[in-house]
C-alpha cells in the first residue's frame, strides 16, 4: 500500500505549518529544553517506549515532527535506532547540524516515505496538535501502515474539550509566526487510534504544569502482530 495522497485543503494547511516552523526554528531550538530535563513522568514514558522498540528488533523508529532533533537523539541514547522527520526544512538543517551522526529527513507524517511494515516504532511527541481533527484518521492510518506487526507507537499531546486556537507564537526574542492548535479529549484520541487498528497498551494523563493551561495525555499503542489475530 502506498501513502494516501493529501487533498488540497490538507496540503495548504501543511504548507502554512511548514512556513511558521521555518520562521521560528532557530529560536525554538534554543528555547525548547532537552528531554533529559523533562518531568519524571514524561521521561518515564519515553524510556518505556524506548525499551519496547529496542527489544522488539522490528526496525527503526521514526520520530515524526522531530523539530531540531533533541528527542531523536535522546531515543538514540536509550538504545533505539531512531531517525527524524519534520515538515520544516530549517528544522531539519538544525537537527543535522546538532546531530550529524543521525538521520533526518524533510517529510510529512501524513504521507510517510517508509514502506509498509518497515518501522519498529513511531514517536509523535507533541507533534500532532497542529492537525485539524478531520486529518487525524489519515495520519494515524499512516502510522499503522508503516509499522511492522507488533510495532509500537507513542503519541504525546496536550488535550482539551474540542478546542481550536489560532495564535501567534514567538520563542525567546525571535520572530512570531501563526499556528493552529487543536485540543481533543483523550478518549476521542484513543478511539481514533483504535479505529486505525491500534491496541492501546498504556495511557497517562498529567495535570497541567505550572503556567500551562492544558493536561497532557500519552498513549502507548501497538499494531497487533499476526499471532494476535490468529484463531
Query: 177-183 and 163-169: which strand pairing?
Result: antiparallel
Average pLDDT estimate for 137-151: 97
pTM score, two decimals? 0.90
Q: Is 109 helix (H, G, I), strand (E, B) or coil?
A: coil
pLDDT band at 138 (very low <50, low <70, confident <90, very high): very high
43-57 pLDDT, tens digit per residue, is 999 999 999 999 998
Which residues on neighbouring strands pair with residue 181, listed in sequence order? 165
Instruction: Say what percent of the chain tops pLDDT 90.
Output: 69
User: Is it the case that residue 4 has pLDDT exceeding 90?
Assistant: no
Delineate the domains of the chain, giving CATH numbers in brackets: 8-229 (3.40.50.150)
Helix (H) or strand (E) holding 154: strand 147-158
Share the mean pLDDT of the chain.
89
Q: How is the beta sheet containing 147-158 ordered, strand by strand?
A: 103-106, 82-86, 61-64, 119-125, 147-158, 216-222, 199-206
For 231, the grid coordinates are 484463531
Q: Rounded to a whole number, what is the distance in angstroms from the first to the last CA of the chain?
A: 25
Amino acid at each position: 500500500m502506498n501513502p494516501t495522497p493529501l487533498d488540497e485543503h490538507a496540503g495548504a494547511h501543511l504548507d502554512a505549518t511548514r512556513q511558521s516552523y521555518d520562521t521560528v526554528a532557530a529560536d525554538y531550538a534554543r528555547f525548547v529544553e532537552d528531554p533529559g530535563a523533562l518531568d519524571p513522568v514524561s521521561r518515564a514514558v519515553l524510556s518505556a517506549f524506548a525499551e519496547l522498540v529496542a527489544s522488539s528488533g522490528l526496525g527503526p523508529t521514526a520520530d515524526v515532527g522531530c523539530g531540531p532533533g533533541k528527542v531523536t537523539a535522546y531515543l538514540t541514547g536509550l538504545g533505539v535506532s531512531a531517525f527524524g522527520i519534520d515538515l520544516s526544512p530549517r528544522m531539519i538543517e538544525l537537527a543535522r547540524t546538532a546531530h550529524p551522526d543521525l538521520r533526518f529527513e524533510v517529510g510529512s507524517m501524513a504521507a510517510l516515505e517508509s514502506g509498509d511494515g518497515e518501522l519498529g516504532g513511531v514517536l509523535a511527541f507533541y507533534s500532532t496538535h497542529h492537525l485539524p481533527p478531520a486529518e487525524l484518521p489519515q495520519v494515524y492510518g499512516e502510522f499503522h501502515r508503516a509499522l511492522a506487526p507488533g510495532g509500537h507507537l507513542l503519541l504525546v499531546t496536550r488535550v482539551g474539550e474540542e478546542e481550536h486556537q489560532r495564535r501567534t507564537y514567538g520563542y525567546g526574542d525571535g520572530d512570531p509566526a501563526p499556528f493552529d492548535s487543536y485540543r481533543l479529549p483523550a478518549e476521542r484520541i484513543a478511539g481514533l487510534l483504535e479505529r486505525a487498528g491500534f491496541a492501546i497498551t498504556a495511557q497517562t494523563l498529567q495535570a497541567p504544569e505550572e503556567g500551562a493551561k492544558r493536561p497532557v495525555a500519552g498513549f502507548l499503542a501497538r499494531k497487533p502482530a499476526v499471532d494476535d489475530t490468529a484463531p
